[in-house]
Amino acid sequence: TSPGNTLEQPLASSALTKQQSKKNSGNCGRKKKSAKATKASLQRQTSEEMVIVPRGQNTQNPLYPPSGKSVVVVESVTKAKVIQGYLGDMYEVLPSYGHVRDLAARSGSVRPDDDFSMVWEVPSAAWTHLKSIKVALSGAENLILASDPDREGEAIAWHIVEMLQQQDALHENITVARVVFHEITEASIKVALQAAREIDANLVQAYLARRALDYLIGFNISPLLWRKLPGCQSAGRVQSAALSLICDREMEIDEFKPQEYWTVEAVLDKKESHSLDTFSFPAHLTHFQSKRLNQLSIGSHTEAKDIEQKINSANFQVIKNSKRSMVRKNPTPYITSTLQQDAANKLNFSATYTMKLAQKLYEGVQLPDGTAAGLITYMRTDGLHISDEAAKEIRSLIFERYGSHHAPEEGPRKYFKKVKNAQEAHEAIRPTDIRRLPAMLSGLLDEDCLKLYSLIWSRTMACQMQPATVGQIQVDIGNADESIVFRSSCSRVEFLGFQAAYEDVDAGAIRYKENEENDRHEAFAILNSLKTGDPLYLGEVELKQHHTQPPARYSEGSLVKKLEELGIGRPSTYASTLKVLQ
């Protein structure tokens, strides 16, 4: 039977200290529960009892190599299996299956008038997981809390310690430690165990503050919405702001008044002087009656026909031919929001589905050599930095696959975040081993996981490569007095640079979307052959009707981008926010 005492804890108390309250050991009274009551346990905790450092020792001594039995708690079964394989029999790795308790789903669970005390609820399934941890701690020297390296992970570690203390599962001599790692590889796990620390009180307080705000906004506003707007699901600190953005955009669309406009396009021919060959190229009208045309300059079919008539009676020649090179900058490495945006735009994945696949890649797979490894770094991040060791390895692979001219001479590129609220606590999202090419994982990953891995691999390589160079050519064609001017332009890639990573056959099918558009060597050569004064012959003239378009509705990708720009929400909340709004 699960403990049934009530535990209430103030949010803004000075109790997140290193003082151990012995009252916790007295909070383990048990009583029989009704069938309904066994679903969960409600807890209430006083400020003196809300502690970070549990009974027992807390040390920063290395926990690897092992000196005795250790119990390691992670969040998922998959992660537990992979890490168990790295650490051996002296460590028992167990999953907590996420949070072991949460705010009770009823009114009054956060009490602002009582120092923001909070009432917690423990699901019945969580008692089973806590019991497994308690049993494993028998005879153990260390309890190692290895939940995710973010605010939620810190909170999970703190909740686990709180619950184990209530059950008197932490004996005096046990060492309780918090370790964090950003990728699930053997080296990363063992390095983390050598840098153990205490639970971060500031992160826990930040979690409690956000959890209280979410609850107070949701539980106070949601009932009002249900009364006023039947069918409305709920309100929330982030989701209500996101919904406001969507509603504002919808109002813009409703109020939009489309305007008619026309464009004039023509095909121009050039005859070779020494042969009967003729080549053609398209152009669009930019000037009429010596005035530059803007989008709405030609407002009706009558105006367009009048212009067409004047064009047909004119003779044309090349009046200007200009060329220039343009540098196309590298993309930055992926963070949570940009991964969700790219996966939506290129793969048609929802934000929730993208995070589900990324979680699989992070937790790891069984490799052909029998070992298991996480394939990408932690996927909830707003940091753009890449570790020096990883950047060095990426640079080495660029030299091998594409040549030294594809890598910057000044060394690895460093990126910095410019978005509001960026905490940059973690690395950017990258493969844990850049030499593990997407082609090597074919057959080990399902199709969608492989697509997402390919996207991450290519982006990681690209961010450390040289920019691409694009050649642009622009030809202006005019009548005798240049009162009528057409323009034709074209571009082609002169140096692939970072785009070579997207062309890599071992990177899978995710190709840089603009590469096909730039494959216009023939058109480029035609325009390049034209010289000022060359006579041209007017071919077909086409009048096209258009209407101005309202602002586009938000897609998942564009909404995430807007939320990030405005500093609304965190990497961990984007997917869940979008799911609720749908």
The per-residue DSSP string of 87-108 comes to: H-TTEEEEE--S-S-EE-SSTT
Structure tokens at 502: 């997207």
Pairing of strands 365-366, 316-328: unpaired
- Give the Cα separation of 166 and 180 in Å (integer): 25
Residue 142, beta-bridge partner list: 70, 175
Query: Can you give the pTM of this predicted structure?
Result: 0.81
Q: Would you state the structure tokens that stand for residue 577, as one six-digit string?
A: 């926010």
Q: What is the DSSP letter of 275?
A: S
Say what the pLDDT of residue 12 is.
39
Tokens 């390589």 sit at which residue? 461
Please name the amino acid found at residue 372.
A
Instruction: Determine the topology of domain 8-207 in CATH.
Output: Rossmann fold (3.40.50)
- Is it true that the peptide bond before 66 is cis, omega within 30 degrees of 0? no
Q: Which CATH architecture has domain 260-329+468-547?
A: Distorted Sandwich (2.70)
DSSP 159: H
Instruction: Give me the amino acid identity at 390.
Output: A
Question: In this structure, what DSSP letter does residue 566 have?
Answer: H
Q: Strand 175-178's sheet: what is its strand order?
A: 91-95, 70-74, 142-145, 175-178
Whether 331 contacts 502, CB under 8 Å: no
Identify the segments of the chain with pLDDT beneath 50: 1-6, 10-39, 45-57, 509, 511-515, 518
* Residue 158 main-chain phi, psi, to 5 deg: -65, -45
DSSP code per residue over 276-320: S-EEEEEEEEEEETTEE--TTS--SHHHHHHHHHHHHT--EEEEE
Structure tokens belonging to residue 295: 């989008």
Q: What residue type is 463 in one-letter code?
A: C
CB of 82 within 8 A of CB of 184? yes
Q: What is the chain's percent helix, strand, coil content, to nearest 5?
A: 40, 20, 40
Residue indicated by tokens 């212009």:
307
Please report, to the nearest 10 degrees, the dihedral formed by the alpha carbons of residues 106, 108, 109, 114 taken in order.
180
CATH 1.10.290.10 positions along the chain are 336-463
Structure tokens at 460: 């990681």
Q: Are 146 and 72 in contact (CB under 8 A)?
A: yes
Task: Say what the pLDDT of residue 273 is.
Answer: 58
Per the structure block, which two tokens stand in for 434?
């850049």
Among candidate residues 283, 340, 360, the one with its CA nearest the CA of residue 527: 283
Query: With left for phi above 0 and alpha for psi between -120 and 50, is residue 411 left, alpha or beta?
Result: left
- What residues are labeled active site? 378
To the nearest 10°, the Cα dihedral for 232, 217, 104, 160? 120
DSSP lists the bridge partners of residue 340 as none
Tokens in use for 58? Answer: 């807390």
Residue of 83, 92, 61 lying closest to 195 (CA atoms):
61
Q: Where in the chain is the domain with CATH 2.70.20.10?
A: 260-329+468-547
CB 467 within 8 A of CB 328: yes
Specify the CATH number for 336-463; select among 2.60.40.10, 2.120.10.30, 1.10.290.10, 3.40.640.10.
Answer: 1.10.290.10
Dist CA 503 CA 518 (whole Å): 13
| pLDDT reported for residue 372 | 84
